[in-house]
Amino acid sequence: MSMKISSTNMIKYLSLAIGIMVMALSGSLFSFASFSTDLKARFGFSSSNINLLSAIGDTSMYVGFLIVGPIYDHYGERWTMITASILTFLGYGGMYIAYAKAWGGLGFLMVLYCLAGVASTAGYLAALAANMANFPASTSGTVSGILLAFFGLSATLFSQIKTHLFSGHDEVADPNSTLKGTKATQTFLLFLTIITTAIYLIGAVFMVKIKKPVVKTLDSGSSSNTTVNDSSDIEKRAAVAAAAAAAAATTPNATVGSTPIQALSRSTTFTPSMKNGREGWNNSSTTLDKESVAPRTAHHLPGDTILESTAPALTAPNNNGGIITTTDASKTWFNPYLTSIDMKPRALLVESTFWFFVIAQVSQQGFSYINNVDSIVHAILDPLDPSTATRAISLTGLHVTLISIGNCLGRLASGILSDWVINRYRISRSIFFFISEILILIPLIIMGFSTSIVSMPLLIISSCLIGATYGATGALFASMTRDFFGDTYYGTNCGMVMVLNGFNPIIANQIYGVFYDRAVEKMGLTHESQPSEDHMTCLGSACYDSGFKIASLLQVVCVVAAGLLFWTHMRKGRKLMQNMA
């Protein structure tokens, strides 16, 4: 048995390592700013064109959940990764060919970038869902934080590779060529094609979702299947049951045998009832991840089931004829916020937590900053300085790096801290989601309401805050979806939460692009009158402040929705605690 457990742990941590590699490549779309200038130059795009292309890629990552979510739920992580490898080959490979020939135009590039975005989502979902399922829910924040930290570093990884290996600074222009933009970007797109396709195929082979021991459950004469969260759980039950039986013998109200007393374990499973999908429990299988309850009195939960004869265990009947099974009798409380309800996708539509979550995701701002930091940098630099073009490239790389590092640290910190708080203080991890949405307002207000051009120190602060808060909300999304809706339909449920968020980058980037182009027109400049092909034409705060004023207002809506989400989840947890009492 120990050899089997050791082998299982080896597979689990190997899958985690492969998942980290997959995540490090799945955020490649966030490095768009590092090569968008060359795309603009080669195809003669306007700022609105570039923002639309960027938004299509971002949107496809969210809408892609509806495509790859059911693939993961029905066919598993292997076929999801194979799908990712095929789509990334077609997407980035097609962009390489289109850039090399300056062929296809905006519409063709949008289709190709959309394929790359869906591929990114497939890799993201397979790595995240498989590895979260391999670890208990009490550590889901940490696991998702580690994985998504590398997802956040992806933009830094690729932007630094682009800056240092594919910068094109030393290229000599071909006098016979009419193509603008560097050949280095062409090579970079080929590199993206090869590296993402190869790693996704490796993930398809070596990244595995471990099949856990299956035990039968009974509920009023019916049976269903559920899984034990910990692979060592079965081994522990015999020893725990013996200790709990001894404790039960000294408890006045307890009996051993037909109606022993209850203690809720970290992996108790039941199938509760629900009216209209609200304020109760779903008819589907539900797994409660709890801190264990000591054998004192028999608390009764509606619709409890029994874990049959896998190992000796203490049980207690409830008022509805169901039975609670215990595997741990060492602690005196359970955690209502570590509760995975395996809800079917259609049941989400009548859940208030679902709709508050969706509204918060849709109205969250920051994409317009992340995808346009290059044009913001150009807008605040002195156009008469001969080193401006070179400085703009290096400063763009710096800010993309700051955003990416902040993204990484935000994801890691929010995952670890949320696990600690939810386990120690029994507070919903959505409190961190609420706080992050408030912090996102700060850089948006700086960019939208500053009376003059934003200084470089303030721009650095804005990049760090946008990166950290965006990273935090991204990591919390993964674990909160599991907390709210469970594991069984995780891929599809992620898609339902995120699909409307696909409109966010389109709206935000288009708003930014429209105001940017209007500022260019007011300056009386055209694409052909630019100082150089690498230098944006728009100068001054008018290039960006109007767009960020609108973004600030939308972010206020997000903050309100995030606050209601936290309040609703806390209220449901308190109701469950009252039922336990």
pLDDT of residue 384: 79
pLDDT of residue 569: 92
Residue 426, number of CB atoms within 10 A of its CB: 18
pLDDT of residue 408: 84
User: Which contiguous run of DSSP H or E holds residue 430?
Assistant: helix 430-449
User: Which contiguous run of DSSP H or E holds residue 124?
Assistant: helix 105-133
Structure tokens at 23: 């995540």
Query: CA nearest 160: which of 394, 350, 495?
Result: 394
Strand-pair partners of 216 = 225
CATH of domain 1-210: 1.20.1250.20
Residues of the chain with pLDDT below 50 are 215-332, 527-536
- Confirm if 276 and 295 have CB atoms less than 8 A apart: no
- Confirm if 471 and 418 have CB atoms less than 8 A apart: no
In whole angstroms, what separates CA 447 from the centre of its chain?
A: 26
- Confirm if 88 and 119 have CB atoms less than 8 A apart: yes
pLDDT of residue 533: 43
Strand-pair partners of 340 = 287
pLDDT digits (tens, 9 = 90+) for 119-147: 999 999 999 999 988 888 778 889 988 99
pLDDT of residue 367: 81
pLDDT of residue 272: 39
- Confirm if 396 and 379 have CB atoms less than 8 A apart: no
CATH of domain 338-523+536-580: 1.20.1250.20
| Sign of torsion over alpha carbons 162, 163, 164, 169 | positive
pLDDT of residue 6: 75
Strand-pair partners of 341 = 286
pLDDT digits (tens, 9 = 90+) for 58-113: 888 888 988 999 999 899 999 999 999 999 999 999 999 999 888 878 899 999 99
* Overall size of the chain counted in residues: 581
pLDDT of residue 264: 42
pLDDT of residue 300: 35
Does 338-523+536-580 match 1-210 at the fold level?
Answer: yes
pLDDT of residue 117: 94
Q: What is the DSSP string of 501-552?
A: GGHHHHHHHHHHHHHHHHHHHHTT--GGG-SSTTS-S--SGGGTHHHHHHHH
pLDDT of residue 561: 97
Domain extents for the chain? 1-210, 338-523+536-580
Decide: residue 276, CB within 10 A, 0-12 exposed, 13-18 middle, 19+ buried. Answer: exposed
pLDDT of residue 266: 39
